Structures are given as C-alpha cells and as structure tokens.
C-alpha cells in the first residue's frame, strides 16, 4: 500500500494571516520552523504563545532529542509532544511501500478516556495535513478497530497498553518501524500496574538509539527515572514546577457530614442555581453505580463513567455531558482521569480519595480555561482521616465547615421513597452479582 503524505491544500492560507507579536518572556510557535499546515491548525485552535512545558521541551524534541518531562495535567504537555511528533512526520515522508498496521508514531496512555482525548487533539492538529490518527482501546468493537487499520495506513497510533498488545499478538499492528514513541503519564502507568505490558511494547519498537522517545510524568519518582534510563537515549530533562499543587481558580470546601447526610447534601446542591454542571467522584465502582441510580431516581439527568461501563456508552455519556444534555456525571478516578471539559462548574468528592494526588486531579476538572470553579468534599467518620495527607500535599490546611442549612433540607418524601427503592434494588443486584461469581461451599458432613 502506498500513500502520498504531502500536506493537504493550504494554498489559501499563509503565515501572514496569523500575526502574533513578539512578547518578552514568552515563546511563540512562530519561533520554531513549523510547517504551514501545522501552523494553520495551531491558529485554528487559538494557540499563540507556548506554555512553560511547550517552551522548554519543544526546542529539544523538534531537534530530535529524547525528552523526559515532568508536568501536571492541564499544562499543555499533550500539544507539546503532538506538535513535535507531527512536525517530524511531515519533515520525513515515507519513501516506498508501506503496509497496513505499520505505525510511524506510537502514543501510550493509561486510560481509555485519555487515549480518546489525545487522539482528538491529534486530529485537530493534523486537520490540514494528510496524516492519519488511529486509536486502540479496550471496551470498543475489536473488529471495527481492525477494519480501520486495514483501510487506512497508520501515521499516529494512540493506544492503551492492553489493547495494543492484543493487536500486536494477532498480527494486525507492527511496531518495528516506529519512529517516535511517546509514553504519557508514566507515573500513572506504574500505579495501575501497566509497566510489564509497556516493557513488552517497548521491546517491539526499534532500539532506543534508532527512535525518538518522549516520556511525561507528573512526578519523577525513582521508578520513573529508572524506566527512563532503560527506554531513553541521552534525554533532555525538563521539569515544570506547578505554581500551586491545586489550581487557584478552584474554591475548595470541606463539609463535615455523616454518611447518611451525603445524599441529602448532593440532592440540594444540584438544586442550586449556580450549579450548571457537576462531576461527582467516588472511590469504588459500586459506590458510583449506587449514586448514579439514586440521582436518576430523584429525577436528575445523570451519566456514569466507570471501568465496568461499555466504552461506546462512556463516549456517548461524555459527549452528552459536554453538550449539556446531562447535568451531573458520576465517575471513578480511573475513568475521570484525562477528561478535558472546560465548563464544569462544580466537583463533588462524595468520598475522599485514598490517594492525595487523586484529590488534586479531581478538583482540577473544574476551574479550567480561565474560568472559576468550586469543589465540595464530604468528610464523614469513614474517610475524614484522609484529610491530613491531602493538606500535606497541598501545602496548606483546608478549613472544615458545617454544611449550609439550605443544603440540609430533607429530601421530599416521595423522592426519598424512590431513592430507598433504588438502594434496595442496588443491594439485590449486588447480591445476585456476587452469588453468580462464587461457588457455594459444600456443607460439612
């Protein structure tokens, strides 16, 4: 199979149509020798000046060096590595024949949502080129993903480790021609136990001296640095210190409440006029399932994002939340990681997270793109002990307060009956689920 990789027609656009004045202390995308087709996409996205991670990493990555970058979510690191990948692919078109499933650039990310978000950003940046972007994630139709690979050559492949290994094992994807390898959220890969899979994938790519590797992580733990030593060749190291661990655009509240008061607080909170869209986080899938069912029984338009929900359904749910068809989204940490929505007005921690870093990621879903947001955490007797570790990470205490009276109004009786019925149904479903998965112990004789 052959393919012409010349950029799409940009004859009606020139760099003169994208004026960005030089500003002291800021680096422009104009300051790099980027192709017209890429610059046109950058203009269409509204980018003008580089974020700190872009300004520090692009001079190295565009020159072909490996880059090990430390930056928090929401700092522009996705665009940083995508711009470098796209420019390199445009600078080095493939000569001769290519085959289906041969990826030129590979981006690995730990969650399905993050993969889909990266792919969406990649498609926006390649819209004026002929480069193709493919995604491989679990929970979506395997046959459809395979058919897409066979129909269209692969320039940029974005994938979760497990599903990528499935395609490599079946002979539908080949990584021996990968020119650029990106490993995003390396620390999260470690936390989720994906490193053995990633090791196997890296071994399928060319030697580290024969590919460019970009690796990004929110932290530089000893484990992350050890992986960098194994997988990267003389990397430039870029570290962006966050101005604050938690964004200053988020107003944080901790409400002291009993476990029995949480449903009442959430119900009344959703009735407030300033709550336009809200994400609720809980620690476990069964907690999220119970919350989702309860909110639906109370008449709220709600969606659920958790690992047990079919991926196609998750994509539709996320789209409905972005468009305003759904007001409240219930999510686990894994499902909520990597979601980029600019108009979330409130985040609720129904349960305080077990890992302090997850608190930062949760509240970072609001107060984005220059807007302000509010996070509200319910601290009860079961999880209030997690507060000191969160405060230590933030570097300052968070004032605990009693909930406002208007949030403690009793749920109307008829709605309370519906909620009680929903909880009973959830318990029955849970018992059936567990009884179906475990063999009964035989009676003693």
Residue-wise pLDDT for 348-382, tens only, equals 999 999 888 888 888 888 877 667 889 999 999 88
Q: What predicted TM-score, i.e. pTM, was given to this entire model?
A: 0.69
C-alpha torsion sign, points 338, 344, 345, 349: negative
Question: What pLDDT, on the 0 to 100 scale, is given for residue 9?
Answer: 53
Question: What pLDDT, on the 0 to 100 scale, is given for residue 432?
Answer: 55
d(CA 77, CA 51) in angstroms, rounded, equals 9
Helix (H) or strand (E) holding 323: helix 311-323
Tokens at 156, concatenated: 């940029």
Fold designation for 15-239 = Rossmann fold (3.40.50)
pLDDT per residue as tens digits for the range 259-280 = 889 999 999 999 998 999 999 9
Superfamily of domain 250-427: P-loop containing nucleotide triphosphate hydrolases (3.40.50.300)
Answer for the pair 331, 288: CB distance below 8 angstroms, yes or no. Answer: yes
What phi-psi label fits residue 263: left (phi over 0), alpha (psi between -120 and 50 degrees) or beta?
alpha
Strand order across the 302-305 sheet: 302-305, 328-331, 278-281, 346-349, 373-379, 250-256, 400-401
Question: What pLDDT, on the 0 to 100 scale, is given for residue 252?
Answer: 92
**Ranges assigned E (strand) in 109-155:** 133-136
What phi-psi label fits residue 395: left (phi over 0), alpha (psi between -120 and 50 degrees) or beta?
left
Question: What pLDDT, on the 0 to 100 scale, is given for residue 424?
Answer: 65
d(CA 102, CA 98) in angstroms, rounded, equals 7
Q: Residue 119, SS3? A: helix
**Ranges assigned E (strand) in 13-145:** 67-70, 105-108, 133-136
Beta strands 302-305; 328-331: pairing state = parallel
Question: What pLDDT, on the 0 to 100 scale, is given for residue 188?
Answer: 82
Question: What pLDDT, on the 0 to 100 scale, is given for residue 244?
Answer: 52
Question: What pLDDT, on the 0 to 100 scale, is given for residue 4?
Answer: 42
Question: What pLDDT, on the 0 to 100 scale, is given for residue 365?
Answer: 83
pLDDT mean for each 10 residues of the chain (445 residues): 46 88 92 95 94 95 96 83 98 90 96 89 96 92 91 96 95 96 91 89 96 92 92 94 66 92 92 92 90 88 84 83 91 71 88 88 79 90 89 86 92 74 62 47 40
Beta bridge partners of 254: 377, 400
Question: What pLDDT, on the 0 to 100 scale, is given for residue 156?
Answer: 98
Question: What pLDDT, on the 0 to 100 scale, is given for residue 96?
Answer: 84
Answer for the pair 129, 7: CB distance below 8 angstroms, yes or no. Answer: yes
**102 DSSP 8-state letter:** B
Cα–Cα distances in angstroms (integers) from residue 57 to residues 62, 105, 183, 216, 236, in the given order? 8, 18, 15, 11, 8
Tokens at 304, concatenated: 């659920």
Q: Residue 28, SS3? A: strand
d(CA 411, CA 413) in angstroms, rounded, equals 6
CATH topology match: 15-239 vs 250-427: yes
d(CA 280, CA 263) in angstroms, rounded, equals 12
426 alpha-carbon distance from chain centroid: 29
Map out the domains of the chain as residue ranges: 15-239, 250-427
Tokens at 3, concatenated: 């393919």
């Amino acid at each position: 199979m052959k393919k012409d990789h010349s950029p799409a027609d940009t004859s009606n656009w020139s760099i003169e149509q994208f004026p960005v004045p030089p500003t002291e202390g800021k680096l422009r995308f104009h300051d790099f020798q980027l192709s017209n087709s890429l610059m046109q996409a950058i203009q269409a996205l509204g980018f003008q000046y580089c974020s700190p991670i872009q300004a520090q990493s692009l001079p190295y990555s565009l020159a072909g060096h490996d880059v090990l970058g430390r930056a928090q979510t929401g700092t522009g690191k996705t665009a940083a590595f995508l711009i470098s990948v796209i420019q390199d692919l445009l600078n080095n078109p493939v000569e001769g024949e290519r085959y289906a499933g041969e990826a030129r650039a590979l981006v690995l990310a730990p969650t399905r949502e993050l993969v889909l978000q990266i792919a969406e950003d990649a498609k926006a940046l390649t819209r004026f080129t002929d480069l193709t972007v493919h995604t491989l994630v679990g929970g979506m139709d395997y046959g459809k993903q395979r058919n897409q690979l066979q129909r269209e050559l692969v320039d940029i492949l974005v994938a979760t480790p497990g599903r990528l290994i499935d395609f490599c094992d079946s002979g539908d994807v080949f990584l021996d021609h990968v020119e650029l390898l990106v490993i995003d959220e390396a620390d999260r890969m470690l936390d989720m136990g994906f490193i053995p899979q990633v090791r196997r994938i890296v071994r399928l790519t060319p030697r580290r001296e024969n590919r460019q590797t970009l690796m990004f992580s929110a932290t530089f733990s000893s484990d992350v640095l050890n992986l960098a030593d194994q997988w990267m060749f003389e990397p430039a190291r870029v570290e962006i210190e966050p101005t604050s661990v938690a964004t200053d655009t988020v107003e944080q509240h901790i409400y002291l409440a009993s476990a029995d008061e949480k449903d009442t607080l959430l119900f009344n909170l959703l009735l407030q006029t300033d709550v336009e869209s809200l994400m609720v986080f809980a620690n476990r899938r069964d907690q999220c399932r119970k919350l989702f069912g309860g909110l639906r029984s109370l008449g709220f338009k709600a969606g659920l994002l958790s690992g047990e929900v079919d991926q196609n359904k998750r994509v539709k749910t996320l789209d409905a939340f972005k468009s305003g068809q759904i007001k409240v989204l219930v999510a686990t940490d894994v499902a909520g990681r990597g979601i980029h929505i600019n108009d979330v007005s409130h985040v609720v921690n129904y349960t305080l997270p077990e890992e302090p870093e997850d608190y930062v990621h949760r509240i970072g879903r609001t107060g984005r793109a220059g807007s302000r947001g509010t996070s509200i955490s319910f601290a009860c007797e079961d999880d209030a002990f997690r507060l000191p570790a969160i405060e230590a990470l933030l570097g300052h205490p968070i004032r605990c307060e009693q909930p406002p009276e208007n949030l403690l109004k009793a749920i109307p009786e008829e709605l309370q009956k519906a909620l009680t019925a929903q909880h009973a149904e959830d318990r029955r479903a849970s018992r059936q689920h567990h009884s179906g998965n475990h063999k009964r112990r035989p009676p003693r004789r």
